[in-house]
């Protein structure tokens, strides 16, 4: 079906997410837009669902076989300076190397994201953010594959809100704008943000980041509520509510997706809050 396209059948999905949890599935790795178009077409023709896989840092894979075709855009890894303060970034570029590139080119504005283990495609789709910033601040336009066609969509035609975008299509890349900065200052800020992260989050453990979304309108901060109910350290199987940050569930090494899902239900039951999931369950 995907003749000539890089594919891993029966892939161990633990290896493709930061939670290190998951069963088995098929992953395809298109090298260019034409291959990606073929994958989408074949999936449609064969009535198969597909799911775009970034760096898997916001995902919980099912313990069982996943029938959805996972499409990794890791080869969409171009970083190209288009103007002095504008850079085109491919969807598969991880935020770590992007931050290094920006530092080496004296471009400032994304330092807050240093330490988020996501790809730029995933970060844009989720409107990733931290420390009062979000990725949408730097977007000028995005390039998407939608209904078989490549389109450029400018930011004014997109909607971003807390950990949410209205992007409908496969993000191929984005043109992003930065400020001219100074290498030493950028390096200092990146390290500072990373240290703050390491101090407040279980950065040394397997997780998928914050499990629940904040509710900005109702001023609901899940981590605070979970902490108030004294739930830090609660375990089901190998899954544990982080002792360091109540908003994170960590995998102590042998957690299953069902352990994480049970812990999520337990949190909702104990707190009495219908908290909205930030992590995405892929089954």
Positions annotated as catalytic residues are 163, 210, 278
**Structure token digits, residue 13:** 């999905």
Question: Binding ligand FAD by CB under 6 A: which of 26, 57, 108, 242?
Answer: 57
Using CA atoms, how far apart are residues 155 and 158, in angstroms rounded to an integer? 5
The reply on whether position 58 binds ligand FAD by CB under 6 A is yes
Question: Binding ligand FAD by CB under 6 A: which of 22, 25, 30, 56?
Answer: 56
Question: Binding ligand FAD by CB under 6 A: which of 2, 14, 51, 68?
Answer: 51
Alpha helices in 111-175 (DSSP H): 120-126
- Are 257 and 236 in contact by the 8 Å Cβ rule? The answer is no
Report the DSSP pairing between strands 235-236 and 239-241: antiparallel
Q: What is the DSSP string of 158-212?
A: --EETTEE---SEEEEEEEE-EE--HHHHHHHHHHHHHHHHHHS-TTSB--SBSB
- Choose one: 51-59, 61-69, 103-111, 217-225; the region binding ligand FAD (CB under 6 A): 51-59
How many other C-beta atoms are found inside a 10 Å radius of the C-beta of residue 166?
10
Segment holding 225, helix H or strand E:
helix 222-228
Question: Binding ligand FAD by CB under 6 A: which of 22, 25, 122, 181?
Answer: 122
In the window 2-21, what residues touch ligand FAD (CB under 6 A)? 18
- Are 122 and 209 in contact by the 8 Å Cβ rule? The answer is no
- Choose one: 81-89, 120-128, 174-182, 252-260; the region binding ligand FAD (CB under 6 A): 120-128
Question: Binding ligand FAD by CB under 6 A: which of 55, 62, 138, 190?
Answer: 55
- Choose one: 24-32, 78-86, 175-183, 207-215; the region binding ligand FAD (CB under 6 A): 207-215
- Choose one: 112-120, 147-155, 216-224, 258-266; the region binding ligand FAD (CB under 6 A): 112-120
The reply on whether position 28 binds ligand FAD by CB under 6 A is no
In the window 218-277, what residues touch ligand FAD (CB under 6 A)? none
The reply on whether position 102 binds ligand FAD by CB under 6 A is no
Q: Please, is 267 exposed, middle or buried when counting C-beta atoms within 10 Å of its C-beta (0-12, 13-18, 19+)?
A: buried
- Contact footprint for ligand FAD (CB under 6 A): 18, 51-59, 73, 91, 116-119, 121-123, 125-126, 128-130, 163, 170-171, 201, 203, 207-209, 280
């Amino acid at each position: 079906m995907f003749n000539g396209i890089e594919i891993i059948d029966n892939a161990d999905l633990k290896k493709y997410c930061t939670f290190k949890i998951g069963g088995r599935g098929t992953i395809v790795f298109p090298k260019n837009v034409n291959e990606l178009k073929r994958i989408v077409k074949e999936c449609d023709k064969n009535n198969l669902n597909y799911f775009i896989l970034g760096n898997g840092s916001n995902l919980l894979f099912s313990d069982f076989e996943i029938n959805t075709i996972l499409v990794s855009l890791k080869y969409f890894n171009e970083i190209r300076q288009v103007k002095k303060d504008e850079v085109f970034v491919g969807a598969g570029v991880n935020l770590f190397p992007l931050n290094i590139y920006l530092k080496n080119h004296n471009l400032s504005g994304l330092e807050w994201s240093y330490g988020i283990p996501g790809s730029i495609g995933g970060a844009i789709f989720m409107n990733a953010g931290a420390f009062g910033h979000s990725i949408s601040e730097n977007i000028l336009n995005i390039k998407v594959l939608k209904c078989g066609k490549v389109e450029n969509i400018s930011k004014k035609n997109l909607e971003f809100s807390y950990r949410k975008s209205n992007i409908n299509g496969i993000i191929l890349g984005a043109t992003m704008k930065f400020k001219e900065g100074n290498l030493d200052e950028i390096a200092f800020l990146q390290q500072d943000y990373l240290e703050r992260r390491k101090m407040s989050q279980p950065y040394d453990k397997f997780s998928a980041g914050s499990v629940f979304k904040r509710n900005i309108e109702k001023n609901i901060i899940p981590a605070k509520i979970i902490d108030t109910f004294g739930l830090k350290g609660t375990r089901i199987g190998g899954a544990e509510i982080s002792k360091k940050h109540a908003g994170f569930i960590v995998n102590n090494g042998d957690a299953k997706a069902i352990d994480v899902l049970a812990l999520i239900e337990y949190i909702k039951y104990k707190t009495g809050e219908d908290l909205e999931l930030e992590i995405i369950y892929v089954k």
